[in-house]
Amino acid sequence: MTTAVDKLVQGYCSYRDGAYEKSRPLIEDLVERGQHPEVAVIACSDSRVDPAILFQADPGDLFVVRNVANLVPPMEEEGTYHGTSAALEFAVLGLGVKHLVVLGHAHCGGIKLMMDAQPGTSSFKYVSPWVSMLAAAHRRVLATMGQADEKERTRACEQNAVLVSLENLTTFSWVRERVESGELQLHGWYVDIAVPQLSAYDWESGSFKPFN
Ligand SMILES: [Zn+2]
């Protein structure tokens, strides 16, 4: 019987003998000259929304940060282990990426957990405080979409998570300054994997619009 881990090893062998061989010149160049991705993606850890697969990216194309619910926390002075902030700092200051894409998605378990949370009852020590950065956005959705069905409210929360992350990105001075000078562009995208459909936040209309 093939276990999930056996499948990984088989996948690696297939990569080594197939995709790696095909892209060997590119990979050798990336090793020699270093990586210079122009795009960093902040995506959810969800196993169904791998940016490299979704965007059919080549090695070196994407600098990827993944966490529960594709969130960017606000800049914080306190604390020590700021995984997402550190990755973004490296992408912007270390690699000089030109685009930051926050990629939200439908059927997000982290968003559902936040929406279903009852005060004082969570069994998640780290996930609950993490997704609580969306609490204000969730309250706004409930206040403005109280009559909508749960599916629509969930989608609104998932898309609002993208907007909260975009807003929080600008709390970092090195993001804000580069956006203002035009060196860096922020993008809010949302994918419904079941369709599939990719939408982008349109700053003018204040809504998500499909690419196709
Ligand atoms: Zn998710």
What kind and span of H or E run contains 34? none
Q: Which residues keep their CB under 5 angstroms from ion ligand 1?
A: 44, 46, 108, 110
Residue written as token pair 């000078």: 181
The CA radius of gyration of the chain, in Å to the nearest whole number, is 19
Q: Which CATH number do you get for residue 177?
A: 3.40.1050.10
The residue among 94, 29, 104, 101 whose CA lies nearest residue 60 is 29
Same domain, 1 and 89: no
Question: What digits encode the pLDDT tens for the residues 57-67?
Answer: 999 999 999 99
Q: How far apart are the first and last CA of the chain?
A: 42
The residue-averaged pLDDT of 110-139 equals: 89
Task: State residue 148's pLDDT score.
Answer: 84
Same domain, 81 and 28: no
Task: Please check the confidence at residue 110 and state whether its pLDDT lies above 90.
Answer: yes
Same domain, 126 and 148: yes
Same domain, 76 and 54: yes
The Å distance, Cα 45 to ligand 1 centre, comes to 6
What's the domain range around 19? 1-34
Assessment of whether the complete model's pTM goes beyond 0.85: yes
Q: pLDDT band at 118, cuts 50/70/90?
A: confident
**Which residues lie closer than 8 Å to 178 by C-beta, 6 or more apart?**
92, 184
User: For 39-48, 59-68, 203-212, which range has the lowest pLDDT when averaged over its residues?
Assistant: 203-212
Q: pLDDT band at 120, cuts 50/70/90?
A: confident
Q: pLDDT band at 205, cuts 50/70/90?
A: very high
The residue among 190, 123, 118 whose CA lies nearest residue 154 is 190
Task: Give the separation between CA 203 and CA 212, rounded to whole angstroms.
Answer: 18
Same domain, 6 and 110: no
The residue-averaged pLDDT of 127-144 equals: 92
The Å distance, Cα 184 to ligand 1 centre, comes to 25
The Å distance, Cα 158 to ligand 1 centre, comes to 8
75: left (phi over 0), alpha (psi -120 to 50) or beta: beta
Question: What digits encode the pLDDT tens for the residues 79-108?
Answer: 899 999 999 999 999 999 999 999 999 999
Give the CA angle between residues 51, 57, 63 to the nearest 5°. Answer: 60
Same domain, 83 and 28: no
Q: Hey, what are 166's tokens? A: 């975009």
DSSP state of 62: E
Q: pLDDT band at 133, cuts 50/70/90?
A: very high
The residue-averaged pLDDT of 74-78 equals: 95
Task: State residue 178's pLDDT score.
Answer: 98
Task: Give the separation between CA 137 and CA 156, rounded to whole angstroms.
Answer: 9
Helix/strand/coil percent split, the chain, to 5? 45, 15, 35
Same domain, 154 and 200: yes
Task: State residue 57's pLDDT score.
Answer: 97
CB count in 10 Å sphere of residue 203? 11
Task: Please check the confidence at residue 212 and state whether its pLDDT lies above 80.
Answer: no
Task: Please check the confidence at residue 41 and state whether its pLDDT lies above 90.
Answer: yes
Same domain, 64 and 20: no
The Å distance, Cα 22 to ligand 1 centre, comes to 32
Strands (E), 2-111: 39-44, 62-67, 99-105
What is the residue type of 40?
A: A
For the chain, how many structural domains are there in total? Answer: 2
